[in-house]
Amino acid sequence: MSNYQKITTLQNEIQARLLDAELKKRNIPHFLRTYHDAAYNGIYQQQKGWGIIEAPIEYKEEILSVLTDIEK
């Protein structure tokens, strides 16, 4: 995963799960990373967003397009 980069910040778990499912369906390599930390009871999610999607940079436009479709 050394060639994975942050593609976008996700705002909530629903958005994250929908995007994750669609990327899996399209066989797009990605990693869903949450900012939740049980020790701090999710305080970072309030500051940074729910989490991020990381993927190879060559998939960035396709991932952002899928995210735009989900948000509509």
CB atoms within 10 A of CB 57: 11
More confident residue, 65 or 13: 65
pLDDT computed for residue 39 by the predictor = 58
Give dist(CA 70, CA 43) in Å, integer. 26
**Which structural domains are found in the chain, ordered by start?**
4-71 (3.30.70)
pLDDT tens figures, 33-70: 987 665 555 555 566 678 999 999 999 999 999 999 99
**Higher confidence at residue 34 or residue 31?**
31
Looking at the predicted structure, is the pLDDT value of residue 15 above 70?
Answer: yes
Query: What one-character-per-residue DSSP string does 15-58 give?
Result: HHHHHHHHHHHTT---EEEE---GGGTTHHHHHH-SEEEEEEGG
The per-residue pLDDT for 49 is 75
- Using alpha carbons, select from 48, 46, 19 the residue that is nearest to residue 32: 19
For residue 10 the two structure tokens come to 């996700």
pLDDT at 34: 86
